[in-house]
Amino acid sequence: MKNAFPFARHVMKLVGSRRSALERAHGRLVLLGAFFALAFILIAARLVDLTVIQGDAFRRDGGVEIGATLAESVDPLPRANIVDRNGVLLATSLETPSLFVDPALVRDPAALAAALVRALPDVSYGDMLQRLQRKGRFVWLSRNLTPAEQYAVLEIGSPALGFKTEYRRIYPQGDLAPHIVGYTDVDGRGLAGVERSFDNLLAAGEKTLELTLDVRVQHILRRELSAAARTFSATGGAGVVLDIETGELLAAVSWPDFDPHFPGTADRTALFNRLTLGVYELGSTFKIFSTAALLDTQRGSLGRQFDARAPLQVGRFTIADYHPEKRMLTVPEVFMVSSNIGAALMGEAVGTERLKAFYSDLGLFSPARLEIGEVGAPLIPSPWRDINTLTASYGHGIAVSPLQMVAAASSIVGGGTLVRPRLILGRGAEVCDPAPCAKTAVRVVSPETAHRMRQLLRLVVAQGTGKHADVPGYMVGGKTGTAEQPAAGGYSRRHLISSFVGFFPMDAPRYAVFIMLDGPHGTKESFGYATGGWVAAPAVGKVIAAMGALLGIAPENPARGDMAESLSQYVHVEGESGVHASE
């Protein structure tokens, strides 16, 4: 019995020891559970802070969440293509990577900025350093990277950097037609030309937009215009090729031009559209209108004579000819030698109200209707006095866009119905059959007047101031224009606008070709002249020659004779004075 008590005490002691160990283990488990519970609570609280509290504060500070930015930074569809009349790409969209950063993940902004400068040649260290330290979770660093640039950024290996696929606008023809096609900003919004005028349609990305332009003709016109501008040291120029039957612009050029991929680096004068937005006094090309007005409203005879023996003195104004004939001139002679005196007397014979109404009917008093926003408003004398009737008869004191003048002249030459220029092809939607069209056409001159004007325009090229535009086999007609431009205190004899508008084939005109040079200078080859007949007419002739071969227009049979020959009875020009004439 004595040995039983120590054994019981030992058992009790052992049981107590185990119970104590279990209690300690339980306590530790409770403590560990409490630790994990606390950690979970802290993590949950941090998540709430980041996603709710800080997110709301970020939005209040003007920031944008990463997800929202990525979703809204670019349209889900690529911008629709723009093509010429033959399907040649003028503008398209390509997928490109754009680089962004999460500034919250940037550990060493200075080192990362230095690495980015090495990887991207078009960024600066200061700009990158500034962007990397901005508040928020999303900042653009560089848009539309090349594959080589993307690879270089990937080699940096920073988790703060990321890429977003965007669509970059590409212009495969480069600087061939930037004033008409236009360009977009980095976010794909149209800023000029067709890109701007049809921004919503193109952004929808559903249908290719077809233009009336023909890339081949555009290239010819741009080549000859730029060559003439450089030869005669002009500050600028413009040109157009118009299909008289349909009003479609086959080519439209403003020079100097620019690369639409980098419009921000272009000079302001290069961005300016001289063809449709610029308005100029275009000189003797307006004699097309005053002569047509005389023949149509007065039913005047071609043999009617006008006294060009001396300058006209009207109050304090003197109207003189550049190379005066100093004799009586018939209507064809006034037109052929481009007499300002004769044209002014024609305007006087028509009368102020009738001449104004005639110009208005031709669309010369309102901006041209075209499918781009860059359209200039004409400058019209106000009030219009009798002296303005005289000067406007030869293109002085009234300024219009080159496109307006070409469309108005084409309306007279093409058959006497109004020609409305257009840029969107439409594939038949805007061109009706001949019979319905004839009923809705707006007539501006009679068919007889249109025929007489075609004869006169052919006479100018065959024997007058437009000889340098002649192309054997294509019976070219046209009119020169040379005008001094407004300057401080009056007009500058040193700053000319020299132009030529040509039509062919003249017996049934289909195409109008126009070239204008702003501020040309004479050369040895032009005997110092910088007039339209010397600087613009030859370039138009070259365009017509190239177009004839390109479009497969067969040359005329010389045996048919020249339509200008029927006017020989009214023309009595002595020597070569008429070649230089007034223009």
- To the query of whether residue 411 is one of the catalytic residues in this protein, the response is no
Write down the pLDDT at residue 560.
66
**For residue 283, pLDDT beyond 90:** yes
- Six-digit token string for 33: 């559970």
The residue length of the chain stands at 583
Sign of CA dihedral 214, 217, 221, 224: positive
Of 26-30, 331-335, 449-453, 492-496, minimum mean pLDDT range: 26-30
Residue for token digits 């019981």?
Answer: 8
Contact 285/479 with Cβ under 8 angstroms? yes
Q: E-assigned strands of 409-541?
A: 477-487, 490-504, 511-518
**For residue 96, pLDDT beyond 80:** yes
Q: How far apart are CA 317 and CA 74, in angstroms?
A: 61
Of 2-6, 257-261, 513-517, minimum mean pLDDT range: 2-6
What DSSP state is assigned to residue 50? Answer: I
Residue for token digits 């300016």?
Answer: 272
Q: How far apart are CA 153 and CA 335, in angstroms?
A: 68
Q: How confident is the model at residue 74 (pLDDT cuts 50, 70, 90)?
A: very low
Q: Is 253 left (phi over 0), alpha (psi -120 to 50) or beta?
A: beta
Virtual torsion, Cα 446, 451, 454, 455, nearest 10 deg:
-140
- First-to-last CA distance in the chain? 149
Q: How far is CA 323 from the centre of its chain?
A: 38
Q: How far apart are CA 175 and CA 159, in angstroms?
A: 40
Q: Please write the tens of the pLDDT for every residue from 168-206.
A: 999 999 999 999 999 999 889 999 999 999 999 999 988
Write down the pLDDT at residue 6.
60
- With CA atoms as reference, report the closest residue to 405 among 466, 363, 458: 363
Angle at 363 between CA 365 and CA 212, to 5 degrees: 130
Write down the pLDDT at residue 41.
74
Q: How far apart are CA 234 and CA 350, in angstroms?
A: 36
Which stretches within 414-565 are classed as H helix? 434-440, 447-463, 532-535, 537-550
Q: Please write the tens of the pLDDT for every residue from 123-157.
A: 999 999 999 999 889 999 999 899 999 999 999 99
Write down the pLDDT at residue 578.
35
Q: Please write the tens of the pLDDT for every residue from 196-247.
A: 999 999 999 889 999 999 999 999 999 999 999 999 999 999 999 999 999 9
* Domains identified in the chain and CATH numbers: 73-210 (3.90.1310.10), 218-580 (3.40.710.10)
What residues contact residue 278 under an 8 Å CB cut-off, 6+ apart?
A: 238, 254, 272, 376, 401, 402
Q: How far apart are CA 242 and CA 267, in angstroms?
A: 28
Angle at 496 between CA 494 and CA 502, to 5 degrees: 155
- Six-digit token string for 60: 């209040």
Contact 469/540 with Cβ under 8 angstroms? yes
**For residue 164, pLDDT beyond 80:** yes
Q: Contacts by 66-70 with C-beta closer than 8 Å and gap 24+?
A: 66/102, 66/137, 66/138, 69/100, 69/138, 70/138, 70/164
Mean local confidence (pLDDT), 39-63: 54
Write down the pLDDT at residue 212.
98
- With CA atoms as reference, report the closest residue to 237 among 283, 192, 288, 272: 272
Q: How far apart are CA 536 and CA 333, in angstroms?
A: 22
- Six-digit token string for 310: 């001396």
**For residue 344, pLDDT beyond 90:** yes
Mean local confidence (pLDDT), 431-446: 67
What DSSP state is assigned to residue 525? Answer: T
- Six-digit token string for 115: 């690495």
Write down the pLDDT at residue 67.
41
Mean local confidence (pLDDT), 50-56: 50
Q: Please write the tens of the pLDDT for every residue from 471-510.
A: 998 999 999 999 998 888 788 888 999 999 999 999 899 9
* Set 98, 226, 284, 290: catalytic member: 284
Write down the pLDDT at residue 564.
80
**For residue 80, pLDDT beyond 50:** yes
Do the bridges between strand 511-518 and strand 490-504 make them parallel or antiparallel, or are there none, so unpaired? antiparallel
Query: What is the maximal distance between C-alpha atoms in the chain?
Result: 166
Residue for token digits 């889900």?
Answer: 76
What DSSP state is assigned to residue 379? Answer: B
**For residue 10, pLDDT beyond 90:** no
Contact 532/482 with Cβ under 8 angstroms? yes
Do the bridges between strand 209-210 and strand 82-83 make them parallel or antiparallel, or are there none, so unpaired? parallel
Q: How far apart are CA 269 and CA 499, in angstroms?
A: 19
pTM as predicted: 0.82
Write down the pLDDT at residue 130.
94
What's the Rg (C-alpha) of the chain? 38
Average pLDDT, the chain: 87
For the chain, helix (H) and strand (E) counts, in that order, are 22, 16
Q: Is 193 left (phi over 0), alpha (psi -120 to 50) or beta?
A: left
